[in-house]
Structure 1
Amino acid sequence: MTRRNDSSQMKKCLTHQSPGDSSNKADSKVADQKGADSKKAGLGGADSTGADSKKAGLCGADSTGADLIAMGSNEGCLSKPNSTASVLDNVGVNTSDSNKANSSGATSSGASSKEQSSKCKHSQSSYGEATDLGPSSNSGDKLGNLKMLKREPECHMELDTLRPRQNHTVLIDTTKFNDNLLIPHEGKHAWDNNHVKLLPHFPKNEPLSRWQVTEKALQGLIRGSASVKDVEMAIMSYNRAYKKEWTFNALNSYVQQVNKHENNFSTVISKMARLALQLQDQIKHAIPLLKQKHSHAITLSQVQISCLLANAFFCTFPHRNTTKPDSEYASYPTINFSNLFGDSSMRKIQKLRALFHYFNTVTDNETRPDGLVTFERICIPPSQLPCWKTQLETLTDLQVFSEGCIEKEGKGMLQVDFASKYIGGGVLGNGLVQEEILFLLSPELIVARLFTEKLGDNECLKITGTQTYNTISGYSNSFEWQGPYTDNTKRDKWKRRFCQIVAIDALHFRDFREQYTETNVMRELNKAYVGFRRDPSVPLEYTPAIATGNWGCGAFNGDPQLKALIQMMAAAVAKRDMAFFTFGHKGQAQELQKMHHLLKTNKVSVAHLYSLLKNYCDDYNRHKSKSVFDYIKHQTPSSQL
């Protein structure tokens, strides 16, 4: 691997670093995230918050409506972390011409073992305009301190030329892309258990194929005067088995309650139908499923994503209308929009406002997006996870803020999605907490539900390059779409916006006390580490900080103090700094910053902190009247807060 070690650029990177509702229970989210007929125990959606009066924008909380509580610990060690790169790490080292892939798109089948990283040099060049989302130095509570944390594009390793790899499927023609053209890659389609099943390739067993029936129905919506009833009839013409189950009450309510100047329903539906019918022209190669226990990445254009989502709106994806335990896609989230159209609620109406704005944007010639987005499933084998009781690292830098939001003030950092194991949680149902709001701000994230199997304990999903389309306010029942958002975020060499999101799912504790076991603490440590782990091939100076908050708290019953400590420990081993947003909880912010100062001042190692947590958990019944922060303070008497 060759890199340019430019000391002046390195110096620049180092110095220029500016910029629930209680009724929303986790149980009720299970049906949202998988489908109304799949209410498996323990499968909660994204964590909910007790405060729905805050301004939204994923302001760093799952969340918590109460004060800080206690925590738990862990045992057992596997082996030292391995420096093995992730799938992309980032797909494509600078190699000689003889190592270049033969294919111009999709997946290459003979990737060199040296091709571990596509990040090769520092870049100040990008597509697009300058970002305007940097924090103000005099806003909130010391938000100016965010300037101390690294973020992209100020700290960025320029990517190698985009090309497919054995573990990276590229759905656009990379040869044409390097000539500044976005053309779908032409390859082979597959109808099997390893790829997305697309309707045009549905096995023909009737005089008219199912795709021909669908084409005819969607063509009927193009005339520009379609009503909700017309949309319903079109969708039901190729989903007849669900005629007695599906309703369109929410869609009706949206049209009736939202003024015509905003929704212009018939016109947008017409453009969406045209977009959906482009499926065969936009997707010319099989889309792999991102399955459990396998690391793989998919890069596709924003236009391809919009086409797939238009098909999801019109419910054209076969075999994806049920997630019963014995169904083919029981381990995948739903993708067809049928559940969103059902029982009406104000939440669904606001979701439809955001989604129709997205579709109106992507079908307009003036605003159609022209970038790429990468979805990367990362699986770290158990043998390569940290041995927590022997990790000698001390804590990295932490800045805590009671004001500000992950997706705004954390722009350019690794932004944490407080995810459901079924990616997207209840975004296509009634769920409206951190993860769902994130997916409504950037609806391109929803397409991950098409191909991402539920996450395992040692897995995460990283998404790079999505665009923000919507401005919103509120949270849970107070959520409201406010209007369009113009995203001026710069782009990298692959035309992906400098926006990286990592989805990590916390455990759902039905009994609050369950988290205070070594096994459960270790699981959360490993999950956070998998999400936070940096690309081993990229120097620390080029690794942005993490933007996170009360991951796994709220409806998932996580202890905010425990979860904060877990994330600090994982960040320390991953060697990344962290910005922590408490979503308006000033007391929590102050206590957390003090605790970090205590541990940092006393140079407490991850191993020692792990031991303290283990001891606390082992005798939780005796210590339960004392919070984990108080316990640690008591065990560290030499410090001065």
Structure 2
Amino acid sequence: MSRRNDSSQMRESIQHDHNEDRKEDRKVEHKEDRKVEHKEDRKEDRKVDRKEDRNEDRKVEHREEHGREREPNDINGSKPNICSSCSERISCSSGPLISYDTGPSSSSRHSDTGPSSSSRHSDTGASSSSRHSDTGASSSSRHSDTGPSSSSRHSDTGASSSGLSDSGHSSSGPDHSNRSSSSSRPSDIGPPFSGPDNSTQSSSSSRTFSPGPSSSRPSDTEERQDEGSSSSCCSLEDLKRLPQCQSKPGPLTPSRTHTILIDVNFLNLEGSLMAKEGRDVWQSDFVKMPCSDSSVVKAGAYFKGPEVRWNGISKQLKGLADKREVNVDHVQAAILKYNPSYKDKWSFDALATFVRRVPKAENYFSTLFPKIAKLALELPKNLKKAIPMLKNGRPASITLSQEQIACLLANAFFCTFPHRNATHPNAEYCNYPSINFNSLFENWSDRKKEKLRAIMHYFKVMTDEKKRPRGLVTFERRLLSGHDVPDWRRCKDKMQKLHVTSGGTIETEGTGMLQVDFACKMIGGGVLNTGLVQEEILFLMNPELILSRLFTEKLEDNECLIVTGSQQFSRYSGYGDTFEWAGPHEDDLPRDEWRRLQRQILAIDAQHYKHRREQYDMSKVQRELNKAYCGFRGHGPNIPDIATGKWGCGAFNGDPQLKAVIQLMAAAKAERGLAFFTFKDEELKEDLQKLHHLLVMEGTTVGKLFELLENFCGAQHGSGSSYSGGLFDFIKRKLRPKRSLL
């Protein structure tokens, strides 16, 4: 019995030892497992920390290198911070976080703000303190994979509250980015914009848009991210406009270079307009007026002896003004009475056909002709001071009232201006555009019909005492002198803001900006003949611009004309042969302290190339750069941005890509943003957006672009075949030779 018990006890002891050994083994195994797990956790933590450190280093480097530059995304001129190495905007302690062109999401990839500030890469909503919680409920986890995140850096929802949806409208979701809201609205035209913020930004004295040069080239991954991002372009609403950004012009005061044709003292005291007293000057530096006593005609078939020409003009015009109704034959007879040498040269068939074909319900012209004649007769009363010519090489300006402009244009309608009809090369005014309307009245065409509809509507308004506007308009000739010409090769300025759209027009969507007139050297082009492209249409919608032809000499390569305060009287549709007058326009723009409508039109003439290849010459490129800069260059700190487009293309045979780059460079030097209208050219719109994005991301300077233009022009005229990929592609390949962004 005792042996059996001993044996049993021995077995139990052995079993107990075995169990203890198994427990100890499990403990060891568990400890080893935990060691492995902790080792893996530490490795993962180190990876995350290194990634965070790199992000922090990039932000620190960006602040140190670029002084926390901020882009003026609103009228007040504030700027975002942009990480030059990863193409994203970053948050700096000096101001609020703003979104950039990273897609639909408005949350910045480098944001350290937002509701979940403890999470750097959270894709989750709810937060706990564990880094690697196994429960999946940790929303402060750095790499949690659950829950919808409102502050995620890499949100995949695309429903950001401060961005724009694909339709171009702001999404209705709440803002989760801890940013104050602004009144920025999406553009009414063009592509949806996924960039500019709705935040209130701090202002900056600098307007440079570029993030500056990157300390290192982007990685392949970052280049692929850039390829997928939409653009660095801004919303149309982010560009500066009148009247919000206008500096006060100061008191209206005449000077040696500024002629004012109204009595300023009377305006200030009585609040009404009256002609400035002065004397007539009959010489080449001044307009030779029809009512001048020095305008004398010799004896001939229509005059018994030497006679002051205005006597014959006023007699004929008074005969028309006294009639209740006047037909085209009466108008023709009166004009030829005081222009007898053109009796067999001038035709009035376009005017006659126009009046005959317009439906009776719209045909008010027989009663309008006498009113225009009466307006023309008021010339001696309305203009008493000599009008200087805006001659080349002399920067100067002229300010006059809208009533004075109408009176002068009424005289142009009746062809009363002396010495302005001859067109031969040695004529006295061969260097000036024509002003008398005789060319508009001849050679009937559908184009002439639509032009006359616009002109007649203007006179209908200006002969109505109740509707006649009583403001002022300024015509200013500007000159880019030698010491003001930039050294383009050494220019360090970077790209400004850009909005590109294939829809809309300069004069409508560009309201309040400096609107570019794609001008001819002879201002107004073919407005009084058959021309009907951008400049002519602009002059027909704003007929007061036609008066610039009276006193503006042909523009030289370093000159431009700026008109402030002209009124738009009509609407239109179409272009060229499809152009149609579309009815009256009610111009409700506010007026400045000088009673000028807050509209600025810039006339700059591009070069006309017979052969397209001619323009790929650096002397011609520099001419266009200087011409654009002459017009874009501002005077004062708070000026509107620029509305432009395919300047010098079309009939002038310019390369749209080259002209776009030239205007980007001139605007960068002038520190002004651009609204670029491609006029339904979708391909140019998309390519220009991508090019601008590349230039911004690379911190490309104007000087660098000038160097690339030199290389491109050299390639066009090299010994081998010319580069066929286009300028945009050439720039892209030079800036990022590894891959294509366009």
Mark yes or no: TM-score above 0.5. Answer: yes
Corresponding residue number in structure 2 for 1:632: 731
Q: 1:566 aligns with which of 635, 655, 662?
A: 662
**Deviation digits for residues 37-76 of structure 1, max 9, x if unmatched?**
xxxxxxxxxxxxxxxxxxxxxxxxxxxxxxxxxxxxxxxx
State how far apart, in whole Å, the 1-side matches of 2:669 and 2:650 are: 26
The reply to whether residue 581 of structure 1 matches residue 677 of structure 2 is yes
Letter in 1 for 2:620: N
Corresponding residue number in structure 2 for 1:496: 596
Letter in 2 for 1:275: L
State how far apart, in whole Å, the 2-side matches of 1:135 and 1:426 are: 38
Instruction: Report the Cα offset of residue 350 of structure 1.
Output: 0.5
State how far apart, in whole Å, the 2-side matches of 1:236 and 1:614 are: 56
Q: 2:410 aligns with which of 300, 310, 332?
A: 310
State how far apart, in whole Å, the 2-side matches of 1:562 and 1:393 are: 19
The answer to which of 256-265 and 331-340 deviates more is 256-265
1:584 aligned counterpart, secondary structure: coil
Cα pair 2:604 2:631 within 8 Å, conserved: yes
Residues paired across the two proteins, number: 512
Letter in 2 for 1:352: L
Instruction: Report the Cα offset of residue 220 of structure 1.
Output: 1.2
Corresponding residue number in structure 2 for 1:162: 252
Cα pair 1:582 1:589 within 8 Å, conserved: yes
State how far apart, in whole Å, the 2-side matches of 1:165 and 1:290 are: 15
Corresponding residue number in structure 2 for 1:234: 334
Letter in 1 for 2:688: L
Relative to structure 1, the CA distance from residue 139 to residue 570 in structure 2 (aligned partners, 3 Å threshold; closer, same or farther) is closer
2:705 aligned counterpart, secondary structure: helix
Corresponding residue number in structure 2 for 1:188: 279
The reply to whether residue 214 of structure 1 matches residue 313 of structure 2 is yes
Cα pair 2:610 2:653 within 8 Å, conserved: yes
**Deviation digits for residues 226-261 of structure 1, max 9, x if unmatched?**
110000000000001111110001001110111233
Cα pair 1:250 1:345 within 8 Å, conserved: yes
State how far apart, in whole Å, the 1-side matches of 2:378 and 2:267 are: 20
Relative to structure 1, the CA distance from residue 627 to residue 241 in structure 2 (aligned partners, 3 Å threshold; closer, same or farther) is same
Corresponding residue number in structure 1 for 2:431: 331
State how far apart, in whole Å, the 2-side matches of 1:523 and 1:169 are: 30
The reply to whether residue 171 of structure 1 matches residue 171 of structure 2 is no
TM-score with structure 2 length normalisation?
0.67
**Which ranges of 4 or more aligned residues in structure 1 deviate by more than 4 Å?**
10-13
Q: 1:349 aligns with which of 446, 449, 466?
A: 449
1:374 aligned counterpart, secondary structure: strand
Relative to structure 1, the CA distance from residue 553 to residue 238 in structure 2 (aligned partners, 3 Å threshold; closer, same or farther) is same
State how far apart, in whole Å, the 2-side matches of 1:317 and 1:405 are: 35
Cα pair 2:73 2:239 within 8 Å, conserved: no
Instruction: Report the Cα offset of residue 395 of structure 1.
Output: 1.0
Instruction: Report the Cα offset of residue 631 of structure 1.
Output: 0.7
State how far apart, in whole Å, the 2-side matches of 1:293 and 1:318 are: 25
Greater C-alpha radius of gyration: 2
Relative to structure 1, the CA distance from residue 220 to residue 142 in structure 2 (aligned partners, 3 Å threshold; closer, same or farther) is farther
Instruction: Report the Cα offset of residue 16 of structure 1.
Output: 11
State how far apart, in whole Å, the 1-side matches of 2:74 and 2:705 are: 34
Q: Which has the higher contact order (CA 8 A, sep 6+)?
A: 1
The reply to whether residue 14 of structure 1 matches residue 113 of structure 2 is no
Instruction: Report the Cα offset of residue 624 of structure 1.
Output: 2.9
**Deviation digits for residues 165-223 of structure 1, max 9, x if unmatched?**
11000000000111311111001210001000001113446453211100111111111
State how far apart, in whole Å, the 1-side matches of 2:448 and 2:616 are: 37
**Deviation digits for residues 446-489 of structure 1, max 9, x if unmatched?**
00000000000000000000000001111100111111100000
CA RMSD in angstroms, aligned pairs only? 1.9
Q: 2:700 aligns with which of 582, 599, 604?
A: 604
Q: Which runs of 5+ in 2 are unaligned?
A: 1-71, 80-183, 194-233, 299-304
Cα pair 1:263 1:353 within 8 Å, conserved: no
1:199 aligned counterpart, secondary structure: coil
Cα pair 2:475 2:563 within 8 Å, conserved: yes
Q: 2:640 aligns with which of 544, 555, 561?
A: 544
Relative to structure 1, the CA distance from residue 353 to residue 306 in structure 2 (aligned partners, 3 Å threshold; closer, same or farther) is same
1:522 aligned counterpart, secondary structure: helix
The 5 Å alignment of 1:281-300 reads 281-300=381-400
Instruction: Report the Cα offset of residue 263 of structure 1.
Output: 3.3
Instruction: Report the Cα offset of residue 224 of structure 1.
Output: 2.0
Cα pair 2:590 2:598 within 8 Å, conserved: yes
Instruction: Report the Cα offset of residue 327 of structure 1.
Output: 0.2
Instruction: Report the Cα offset of residue 316 of structure 1.
Output: 0.1
Cα pair 1:224 1:269 within 8 Å, conserved: no
Instruction: Report the Cα offset of residue 382 of structure 1.
Output: 2.5
State how far apart, in whole Å, the 1-side matches of 2:74 and 2:713 are: 45
Cα pair 2:611 2:653 within 8 Å, conserved: yes
Cα pair 2:419 2:428 within 8 Å, conserved: yes
The reply to whether residue 198 of structure 1 matches residue 298 of structure 2 is no
**Deviation digits for residues 478-519 of structure 1, max 9, x if unmatched?**
111111100000110001011000000000000110000011
Instruction: Report the Cα offset of residue 135 of structure 1.
Output: 8.9
**Deviation digits for residues 371-406 of structure 1, max 9, x if unmatched?**
000000001223321111111101111110111110
Letter in 1 for 2:371: K
- Residue identity over aligned pairs, in percent, reads 50
1:626 aligned counterpart, secondary structure: coil
TM-score with structure 1 length normalisation?
0.78
**Deviation digits for residues 296-347 of structure 1, max 9, x if unmatched?**
0000000000000000000000000022100000000000000000110010
**Deviation digits for residues 99-150 of structure 1, max 9, x if unmatched?**
xxxxxxxxxxxxxxxxxxxxxxxxxxxxxxxxxxx99744443489111000
State how far apart, in whole Å, the 2-side matches of 1:246 and 1:157 are: 48
State how far apart, in whole Å, the 2-side matches of 1:438 and 1:520 are: 27
State how far apart, in whole Å, the 1-side matches of 2:74 and 2:647 are: 33
State how far apart, in whole Å, the 2-side matches of 1:139 and 1:394 are: 26
Letter in 2 for 1:326: N
State how far apart, in whole Å, the 1-side matches of 2:457 and 2:78 are: 36
State how far apart, in whole Å, the 2-side matches of 1:289 and 1:310 are: 19
Relative to structure 1, the CA distance from residue 261 to residue 16 in structure 2 (aligned partners, 3 Å threshold; closer, same or farther) is farther
